[in-house]
Amino acid sequence: MNPILECQGLSKRYGSSFYALNNLSLSIGRGQIVGLLGPNGSGKTTFIKLINDILVPTSGKILIDGKEPGVETKKIVSYLPDRIHLDDSMKIKDMIAYFSDFYTDFVTDRAYKMLTDLEIDVNKRLKTFSKGTKEKVQLLLTMSRDAQLYVLDEPIGGVDPAARDYILQTILGNYNENATVIISTHLIHDIENILDRVIFIRQGQLALNAAVDEIRMDHGKSVDALFREVFRC
Ligand SMILES: Nc1ncnc2c1ncn2[C@@H]1O[C@H](COP(=O)(O)OP(=O)(O)OP(=O)(O)O)[C@@H](O)[C@H]1O
């Protein structure tokens, strides 16, 4: 089977000379949870936007399941942006109906199950919830699709620590074993137990692409400790 994501010499320039991504080449296989990690401004969101066809590469190639990002790849990629993009005035149950109409792979029962577990009232409008709960709703909707690739940009930033574990278990429990999840986050300590692999990005370039087990064996440290060492200011 081809990798779910491949990029070759991928670069993105903003303005006339600043490269947010610079000659990135990597391949991500199926059936794993991958941490996309790097300091502020290292190019993570730019990379995620390229995967989701929100930005176009300046040079190089990016392929999702062998195809350039576009209408076809959006059918198999479930994307959680780094900010809330849902219509605040909608009731949660109407959002579920909307997602279910829009995405053929949306699993309505799964969404309701997670909302019940988190005691989120589906009859209320999104704007009546706190920022953290809004983030949970957005993540639940993203994870309720049967996608081949989930791309989550900062999924647990605003969620309280007690709910983070539930959210992480939700991520683990709601994707099929052939799917891949890419998670960009600064909360490395919180998520490293669910990661199979990590990609470190520094100034738009690949600094490390390794299995978490390899890091623990080769470096004798956690991903969080290695990150702090590699990116020490
Ligand atoms: N639209 C834009 N125009 C110009 N520069 C931009 C634009 N978007 C991002 N940048 C710059 O590109 C670089 C990479 O930004 P990006 O948002 O991809 O980083 P990031 O790793 O996601 O950062 P963070 O961890 O802070 O969210 C940063 O220096 C940022 O200022």
**Average pLDDT over every residue of 136-157:** 92
Give domain status of residue 18, yes or no. no
What CATH number does residue 220 fall under? 3.40.50.300
pLDDT in tens, 69-93: 999 999 999 999 988 888 999 999 9
Q: Please give the pLDDT value at position 176.
A: 79
Please identify, by atom number, the ligand 1 atom nearest to the C-alpha of residue 82.
27
Rounded Cα distance, 225 and 233, in Å: 14
Domain-embedded: residue 100? yes
The residue whose CA is least distant from atom 25 of ligand 1 is 40
Instruction: Give residue 14 CA to ligand 1 midpoint distance, Å.
Output: 9
Query: Is 19 inside a domain boundary?
Result: no
Flag whether 70 is in a domain: no
If one compares 111 and 171, the residue with the highest pLDDT of the two is: 111
Instruction: Give the distance (Å) from ligand 1 centre to CA of residue 96.
Output: 31
Ligand 1 pocket test, candidate residues 18, 36, 40, 46, most atoms within 8 A of CB: 46
b (16+ CB within 10 A) / e for 171-210: beebbeeebbbbbbbbbbebbbeebebbbbbeebbbebee
Handedness of CA 114, 104, 54, 194 (dihedral sign): positive
- Kindly report the length of the chain: 233
Asked whether residue 145 is domain-assigned, the answer is: yes
Give distance in angstroms: CA of 8 to centre of ligand 1: 20
pLDDT at 171 over 80: no
| Average predicted confidence (pLDDT) for the chain | 93
Query: Cα(176) to centroid of ligand 1, in Å?
Result: 31
Residue 196 covered by a domain? yes
| pLDDT at residue 52 is higher than 90 | yes
ipTM of the complex model? 0.98
The boundaries of the domain holding residue 138 are 32-52+77-230
In a domain, 97, yes or no: yes
Closest CA to 37 of 165, 164, 212, 177: 212
Whole-number Å distance, alpha carbon 20 to ligand 1 midpoint, is 7
pTM here is: 0.95
Give residue 84's pLDDT.
Answer: 81
CB-defined site of ligand 1, < 6 Å: 14-15, 20, 38, 40-46
Q: What is the number of structural domains in the chain?
A: 1
Quote the percentage of the chain above a pLDDT of 70: 99
| Mutation choice for ligand 1 from 42, 153, 187, 227, CB with most ligand atoms inside 8 A | 42
């490269």: which residue's tokens?
19
Distance CA 219, CA 34 (A): 19
Tell me which residue of 226, 95, 75 sits closest to 146, measured CA to CA: 75
pLDDT in tens, 102-130: 999 999 999 999 899 889 999 999 999 99
Residue 207, domain member (yes or no) = yes
Give dist(CA 230, CA 233) in Å, integer. 9
Q: Is the pLDDT of residue 169 over 80?
A: yes
